[in-house]
Amino acid sequence: MRGKPSSRGCCWWFLVVVTLALVYDAIVYTVHKKTEKSEGAAPIPGPPGAIEKKYDDALKIAMQFFDIQKSGELGHSNRFSWRGDSALTDGSQAKLDLSKGMYDAGDLMKFGFPMAFTATVLSWAILEYGDQMAVVNQLDLAQDSLKWITDYLINAHPEENVLYIQVGDPEIDHGCWERPEVMSEKRPLTQINKSSPGTEVAAETAAALASASLVFKSDFRYSSTLLKHAKELFTFADKYRGSYSVSIPEVSTYYSSTGYGDELLWAASWLYHATGDKSYLQYVTGKNGEVFAQWGSPAWFSWDNKLAGTQVLLSRLTFFGNKDTANVGLQMYRKTAEAVMCSLIPDSPTATKSRTDSGLVWVNEWNALQNPVASAFLASLFSDYMLSSGTAKLLCNGYSYKPSDLRKFAKSQADYVLGNNPMRMSFLVGYGENYPQYVHHRGASIPADAKTGCKDGWTWLERKEPNPNVATGALVGGPFLNETFVDDRNNSMQAEPTTYNSAVIVGLLSGLVTTSSAVQSFT
């Protein structure tokens, strides 16, 4: 039979209860103090979590388009039987090797401005989400694609104040419909220099090389080379100010710039992250910020406008590093970034009205998907900054939103691209059961064994049959505002993919494929 409890046992249980109560009070007090400090600290994610299959599948598909766009000697890295070596003599007339790099879109041009933007965004994605890319075996591929561009950009900068910004003549190129492997037309070079400046292109290239220097920092020699060129190009861009659209009017037909101030701030921001040199931070927060930053005015992130990207990039300093509230300029970047985020959350009082009925952010009919995907990438980043820094709330005109609200928006844009739309179509070629079959892309539209060249190749553009080759991973232009899409090879407005579209969709999918803590410093 069970005996009466001893007095010693009774005291032991009493002490346990008292101790637990004290521990509980201590925990409550600690949580309360942390809550006071961060207005309700959000949970901090740990290492990469569970993989979300649809984003995993989509990321692996999206990454492949970089391979399709590669110029030069492909060698063992070639994953597509219908692609081969091309443009091997690019740059030879200037005694330069410009054979690498990537073709811009469905054509065979190398436009330096959007190509450099592609590299900068891809670098950013790797720096923020490299651990998540690695979990699904995409990090090495991303780095390889980035280096294919940065090798080209280094060679395109043979002197401090000279940068080759274009290979090929758009009129000649667009007068042909042929595979890159067989093109034999002249490939003239276009350069910017002291007398014909191109601040935006030089600065964007500086941003690309500075950010890439962080990606490849384990390779000291290569990283140092990248950073050397980045510094020289930024000095060139800043000292000899002028838009390349003005200096070289013929380039304005395709990638005309609306201004170079955003690229100067973007480049200086990346150089600060790459070097820690406070003069670059002063550059963006001082007079140049006052002139160019357009604080308080949210903008769309794109190959032409880097302001929103700059604001988010500099915001990470306020989340993880520089909490100096006396730095008014830095705080203004943070506030403007918050305004951008508030404009993206659908039920925010300051939400943009530029959306389709199904919720896709929609700004331009040409390449409509660039803006929503780029915006979603920034939202994913900002959400992760909030989570990892324990920042629970984003205030939008008195209304409070959580990091999860930003991630929900990012997912909504990704899901639309992948088929959750009224057309039930995936705009990422190769993903799902229903995706564009008539992509406006020369290589995809012509069989590898075709014997056609520049002029007779046009017959392949006009054919009624789907493309013989799948441009796997291509993110096409996307839908009209009324959510219709015409799958037609001649419809370059909607059916043409771009390499910089690939950069933003890879960045977005890398942020969604799983979760992990945002790195506090790139260096």
pLDDT in tens, the chain (523 residues): 333 333 323 333 333 333 333 333 333 323 333 333 333 334 455 678 899 999 999 999 999 999 999 999 999 878 999 999 999 999 999 999 999 999 999 999 999 999 999 999 999 999 999 999 999 999 999 999 999 999 999 999 999 999 999 999 999 999 999 999 999 999 999 999 999 999 999 999 999 999 999 999 999 999 999 999 999 999 999 999 999 999 999 888 899 999 999 999 999 999 999 999 999 999 999 999 999 999 999 999 999 999 999 999 999 999 997 655 568 999 999 999 999 999 999 999 999 999 999 999 999 999 999 999 999 999 999 999 999 999 999 999 999 999 999 999 999 999 999 999 999 999 999 999 999 999 999 999 999 999 999 999 999 999 999 999 999 999 999 999 999 999 999 999 999 999 999 999 999 999 999 999 998 899 7
Pairing of strands 163-167, 394-396: unpaired
Q: Where are the alpha helices (DSSP H) in 359-495?
A: 370-389, 403-417, 442-445, 458-462, 492-495
- pLDDT for 322: 61
Of 70, 179, 131, the residue nearest 454 (C-alpha): 179
Q: Where are the alpha helices (DSSP H) in 418-479?
A: 442-445, 458-462
Residues 157, 229, 273, 440: which is the catalytic one? 440
- pLDDT for 42: 41
What span, in angstroms and rounded, lies between the C-alpha atoms of 128 and 507?
A: 9
Q: Which two tokens stand for residue 25?
A: 């009070």
Q: Which residues have CB under 8 Å from 229's CB, separation 6+?
A: 153, 154, 157, 206, 209
- pLDDT for 77: 77
Q: Which two tokens stand for residue 140?
A: 């090495």
- pLDDT for 333: 97
Degrees to nearest 5, angle at CA 146 with 117 and 106? 65
- pLDDT for 323: 56
Domain limits, the chain: 53-512
- pLDDT for 523: 79
Q: Which two tokens stand for residue 31?
A: 């949580």
- pLDDT for 48: 86
- pLDDT for 37: 32
Q: Which residues pair with 355 in a beta bridge?
A: 361
DSSP reduced 3-state for 217: coil
Residue 323 Cα distances to 13, 29, 183, 258, 521, angstroms:
47, 25, 55, 33, 14
- Arch. (CATH architecture) of 53-512: Alpha/alpha barrel (1.50)
Angle between the 278-285 and 328-344 helix axes, to the nearest 10 degrees?
Answer: 60
DSSP reduced 3-state for 296: coil
- pLDDT for 378: 98
- pLDDT for 324: 54
DSSP reduced 3-state for 428: strand
**What is the number of other CB atoms lying within 10 angstroms of the CB of residue 227?**
21
Q: Which two tokens stand for residue 467?
A: 């493309």
- pLDDT for 63: 98
pTM to 2 decimals?
Answer: 0.91
Angle between the 307-320 and 112-135 helix axes, to the nearest 10 degrees?
Answer: 40
Q: Which two tokens stand for residue 47?
A: 């290492």
- pLDDT for 46: 64
Asked about 440 being catalytic, the answer comes back as yes
Q: What is the DSSP string of 134-197?
A: HHTT-HHHHHHHHHHHHHHHHHT--BTTBEEEEES-HHHHTT----GGG--S---EEEE-SSS-
- pLDDT for 35: 32
Q: Which residues have CB under 8 Å from 100's CB, separation 6+?
A: 70, 71, 72, 148, 149, 151, 152, 155
Residue 443 Cα distances to 80, 188, 466, angstroms:
11, 21, 13
